[in-house]
Structure 1
Amino acid sequence: MAISRSLADELDKRRAAAMEGGGPAKAEDRHAKGRLTARERIDTLFSAGTFQETGLHAQHATRHFGMEKKSIPADGVITGTGFVDGRPVAAFSQDFGVVGGTLGEMHSRKICLVLDHALKAGVPVVGFNDSGGARIQEGVGALSAYGQVFYRNVQLSGVVPQISVIAGPCAGGAAYSPALTDFVIMTREHAQMFICGPEVIRAVTGQATTMDEIGSAEAHASVAGNIHFIAEDDAHAVALVHRLLSFLPSNNMMDPPHRIEPDLTVEDDPALDALIPEDPKSAYDVREVIARLADGGDFLEVMAGFAANIVVGFGRIGGVVVGFVANQPMVKAGALDIDASDKGARFVRLCNVFNIPLVTLVDVPGFLPGVAEERRGIIRHGAKMLFAYASATVPKITVIMRKAYGGAYLAMCSQDMGADRVIAWPTAEIAVMGAEGAVNILYRKDLAEAEDRAARARELAAEYRAEFASPYLSAGRLFVSDIVQPRQTRSAIALTLRGLLSKRETRPPKKHGNIPL
């Protein structure tokens, strides 16, 4: 039976009205500010012609306060699936141009249906958050709607990658959904994220503050550690999503998108020999080491603005996707503190759930000493690193470049914490503590009797390094798998990764471990 012209016209009319969203005027206002509309974000994310929308004709459930006759196209959120670089991806995009993108019962149901689909199909989820918050007219129903989204965020966690883009306001309870996802990208100029705004804080506590101080992308990236990337604009945010997806598998049952060539080319890189200063106390940028190890120097750093004394991110070595975790000697001498431990542990656990091998680069003098760190719980936070590495079953390769002292040596994935291969450079020092500290304890009497205390201390420190901290001592006791020249590191890692792709390791049956949160 042919579709009548009237029925076809009615469908076209309804589709056009729903797809218009907030209308041309609001779209033009967005464009004037250099922003994309909710639909344009979706169009930019997916390959042309691949997006299949769900819930276009959804009708809102608000029946009070004059809302019963109000038109809310698509109920203020665009949902559906499409393809990114040939891979299926689910997405939702809140439309601030339609009743402020507020979340109500039907709005939430649409998001939940997309999340349910992602769980069943095993595909990543990308969410564009741009909303005025809960739809007040729906009362407790709106709060329930948020709870349904949060519950699904947790169900999807560790099963499929979840990426949140904060592209506008994200206030109150709305902020918890992004916080439950794997990655949060926030645009620099037009996004805000907070639980209580400046006015509420001032009214309740008397403290004067600004949105820049508590809710800006810069505050979340460098102080709070709530986001992973700052995007310059909407288009840049989508580009970061594409970049992240290029390193992540579609789900936890799949391998990451490795680019493995049948023949592995193994070559030395003499440039690595010159990167580490001769003076063990001199700093260097560990990102330069990572750039020499990663294929083509391609490295996507995660949380670059937070806890800069540890560097984490994605790259490939010999075509194999890896997660890098590296101490950064340029910041706090690379010592582990509370924030670095949290950042490192979370990244290790993310790599583990998505089958991404770990490459750990070690140059750590220990955990950061200090009254503030002790009172804030460095023991509990530092234990997260131990827990994360010991729990991880993915291939784990550790390179000890220079210092590896005390508990931080273990926290940076020593053999005892499950490393499959530990490589040391000739410059490595592995010991309970640094030579200077050890000399002051072990040779106190000898130093007291020395005519030239400083000269004797240097002499004893050199002896301590040779006798107690030498990488050959650790290698002799099989704590280190091999000692290589820096130039040989990339080839050593590439060969090891290729040999570990078939690694299978299980843990005792349990619901989950009890990480010291």
Structure 2
Amino acid sequence: MAGDEDATRKVASTSSSEVAKERLAKVASHIADSDTPKRRRRKSADSDLPADYSDILGQLATLRTIAATPDTTNRGYVRQKQAGKLWVRERVEQLLDPGSFQEVGSVSGTVKWRQLGPQKEEPEDYIPSNNVQGFGRLRGRKIVFTADDYSLRAGHADGALMDKTVYMEKLAIALKLPIVKLVDGSSGGGSVTTIRQTGFSYVPPLPSFTQVIQQLNMGIPNLGAVLGPAIGLGAARVVACHFSVMAGDISSLFNAGPNVVKNATFEEGLSLTDLGGPDVHCRNGTIDNLAADEAGCFEQIRTVLSYLPDCGTKLPPTVEVSDPINRVSENLRTAIPRAKNRMYNPRAIITEVVDQGTFFEIGSLWGTTAIVGLARLGGKPVGIVSLNCEVNAGALDALGSQKITRMLKFLDVFNIPLVQFVDVPGYAVGSQAERTATMRHGVTLAATYYSTTMPIFSVIVRRVYGVAGGVMLDCRDPRMRVAWPSGVWGSLPLEGGIEVGHSFELKEIERTEGKAKRDERYSELENEYKRLMNPVRTANHFGVEEIIDPAYTRQVCCEWVDHVYSSLLPQRVMERIAGKLQPMFA
């Protein structure tokens, strides 16, 4: 046994020795081969390019520097400054929170390249895309934005503009972020020179509006500002927004400019302001608000956004306030005159009830029979609707109905509850009211009241008459409302109503006994009806749920809003997420 083991060890030792000799021979062979000259590989063009891609990064830096530096000799830039307008990147800087600008498509545009070698090149000339787009923040809120550069081709389309715009519209939907649109020019609309560049004409497309309508109905805030001439597509983009504002010193808006109008309608000598200035479009409802200048536009956009959620599947943002919810306003007890034909200031009532300094009116220059806007109660955003007794005695005309209709849809898509101060003598009457289709727009308003679903709380401050009154107060079941002691209501106001209801009696008295007796009887009837129309009598029959002391209106409203935000709106948001509830703005 021992002999066998010795033999096995000798065989293994011999084998290991042979393997070692074989490895040594291979190493020696390699060393010997290294002394012989080898054929060198031809150097490729790629080997001249830096390993850290600094050439590409350098090209990007060059293009971005050119884009961010105004060409003060460019006639478009000179024209921009002569008109008193900010350059596009100055606008972006003023609009956004400092340091929050992140550009998308920063080097899109037309580049002329100089070749330096087989693969090397550098930018020789660069015309940036005439729209600056990207991300930023407004008072800490992240947004996406687009901003026209009128100094380049007056904002008309270039090779990248439409693709960039559609991309940003899609980003707003995908990321559920508010979008701000600064319009100056056609926002990528066509120019006849495009035909010459492409070599053919085209049937005009409108690719971005699919996304725009989707955003509007999703409750993704669309906020637009007119900061120069908004033409064609540019005008359409800003008018389609949830909220729009014009700079009073530099803006105009129209379907086509004066030169096209001159050939189409033979109206000559029109300036941009004559054709579509702020005095035109802030008074006809095309644009919501007027600002003094560009800075004023930016501030209004920031303010409106502060009341809105990022999208309709979120709650509106709340803030801490120092104004106590139980603040008593004794001056409201005398806000409504005892004489029913005397006027009062409805805005004073609104500002007294809501959190101090939070009422932001929308559309103050058009549809002036109605007052609408945004405010806070206990730090929580609410919509405001009131009739304006100082205009047409508060009777709802066609424009007033359109204004409230638009506001109701606005509140519905953003999950904002409505508090309304009701003093409505009915729809406007007379030949002018009939010519302007008051009833048509009034019925549209009624349909909107009944088809929207945001919570509504009503404070009856004085009159509620006719169809208009019924629409405003009977659109929710159960009704959530209170009345002031100054409330009066019915099918018709007494003035005129007595004449209609007692026409035969009064005529007979005048015919048989004279006008003095007729007037005496009229006075008796008037006093009787006024006594019967005591609001307490209505409350006795539960025709009005509660009559409150006006001084405590704020507390009542704040308690209602607090309950809505704690109990009703969270459920509403869940229904929006599940697709059960789908409000429509557009």
**TM-score clears 0.5:** yes
CA shift digits 1:54-92 (9 cap, x unpaired)? 01111359xxxxxxx996633100010111122110101
2:96 counterpart of 1:46: yes
Q: Which residue of 2 aligns with 1:215?
A: 276
Q: Which residue of 2 aligns with 1:56?
A: 106
Q: Partners of 1:95 and 1:72 in 2: how far apart?
A: 15
Q: Which residue of 2 aligns with 1:121?
A: 175
Alpha-carbon distance change, 421 to 440 in structure 1, aligned in 2, over 3 angstroms: same
Q: Partners of 2:233 and 2:354 in 1: how far apart?
A: 39
Alpha-carbon distance change, 261 to 511 in structure 1, aligned in 2, over 3 angstroms: closer
Alpha-carbon distance change, 479 to 246 in structure 1, aligned in 2, over 3 angstroms: farther
Letter in 2 for 1:131: G
Q: Which residue of 2 aligns with 1:270?
A: 330
CA shift digits 1:129-179 (9 cap, x unpaired)? 112542433349997776012222112112201011111111123321222
CA shift digits 1:321-368 (9 cap, x unpaired)? 111110000000011010000011101110111011101111111111
Q: Partners of 2:209 and 2:202 in 1: how far apart?
A: 11
Alpha-carbon distance, 1:270 to partner: 0.3
Q: Partners of 1:248 and 1:435 in 2: how far apart?
A: 42
Aligned residues: 506
Q: Partners of 1:400 and 1:427 in 2: how far apart?
A: 8
Matches within 5 A, 1:18-417: 18-20=67-69, 22-23=71-72, 30-31=80-81, 33-59=83-109, 73-132=127-186, 133-139=189-195, 147-159=206-218, 160-208=220-268, 209-222=270-283, 224-259=284-319, 265-411=325-471, 413-417=472-476
Answer yes or no: is the 8 Å Cα contact 2:413–2:583 preserved in 1: no
2:494 counterpart of 1:435: yes
Report the secondary structure of 1:148's partner residue.
Answer: coil
Matches within 5 A, 1:457-472: 457-467=522-532, 469-472=533-536
Letter in 2 for 1:220: H
Report the secondary structure of 1:465's partner residue.
Answer: helix
Answer yes or no: is the 8 Å Cα contact 1:264–1:318 preserved in 2: yes
CA shift digits 1:24-47 (9 cap, x unpaired)? 666566456542111111111211
Answer yes or no: is the 8 Å Cα contact 2:109–2:159 preserved in 1: no
CA shift digits 1:410-444 (9 cap, x unpaired)? 23x21344574111111111110101222112222
* Bigger mean CA deviation after superposition, 24-33 or 490-499: 24-33
Alpha-carbon distance, 1:118 to partner: 0.7
Alpha-carbon distance change, 70 to 247 in structure 1, aligned in 2, over 3 angstroms: farther
2:61 counterpart of 1:12: yes
Q: Partners of 1:425 and 1:285 in 2: how far apart?
A: 16
Q: Which residue of 2 aligns with 1:3?
A: 52
Alpha-carbon distance change, 211 to 94 in structure 1, aligned in 2, over 3 angstroms: closer
Q: Partners of 1:285 and 1:143 in 2: how far apart?
A: 55
Report the secondary structure of 1:89's partner residue.
Answer: strand
Report the secondary structure of 1:326's partner residue.
Answer: strand
* Bigger mean CA deviation after superposition, 43-52 or 323-332: 43-52
Report the secondary structure of 1:167's partner residue.
Answer: strand
2:539 counterpart of 1:490: no
Q: Partners of 1:512 and 1:495 in 2: how far apart?
A: 27
Answer yes or no: is the 8 Å Cα contact 2:325–2:554 preserved in 1: no
What are structure 2's unaligned runs of at least 5 residues?
1-49, 112-122, 511-515
Q: Partners of 1:261 and 1:510 in 2: how far apart?
A: 34
* Bigger mean CA deviation after superposition, 22-31 or 486-495: 22-31
Alpha-carbon distance, 1:477 to partner: 4.7
Alignment partner for residue 521 of structure 2, among 456, 477, 480?
Answer: 456
Report the secondary structure of 2:160's partner residue.
Answer: helix
Alpha-carbon distance change, 438 to 70 in structure 1, aligned in 2, over 3 angstroms: farther
Letter in 1 for 2:521: R
* Bigger mean CA deviation after superposition, 475-484 or 94-103: 475-484
Answer yes or no: is the 8 Å Cα contact 2:63–2:126 preserved in 1: no
CA shift digits 1:240-296 (9 cap, x unpaired)? 111111111111111111225799742321011122112111111211111101111
Letter in 1 for 2:141: R
Answer yes or no: is the 8 Å Cα contact 1:109–1:145 preserved in 2: no
Q: Partners of 2:67 and 2:146 in 1: how far apart?
A: 15
Q: Partners of 2:215 and 2:580 in 1: how far apart?
A: 19
Q: Which structure has the larger Rg? A: 2
Answer yes or no: is the 8 Å Cα contact 1:21–1:97 preserved in 2: no
Q: Which residue of 2 aligns with 1:66?
A: none
TM-score, structure 2 normalization: 0.79
Report the secondary structure of 2:423's partner residue.
Answer: strand
Q: Which residue of 2 aligns with 1:65?
A: none
Aligned sequence identity (%): 26
Report the secondary structure of 1:296's partner residue.
Answer: coil
TM-score, structure 1 normalization: 0.89
Answer yes or no: is the 8 Å Cα contact 2:412–2:583 preserved in 1: no
Alpha-carbon distance change, 60 to 479 in structure 1, aligned in 2, over 3 angstroms: farther
Answer yes or no: is the 8 Å Cα contact 1:389–1:418 preserved in 2: no
Letter in 1 for 2:421: L
Answer yes or no: is the 8 Å Cα contact 1:150–1:180 preserved in 2: no
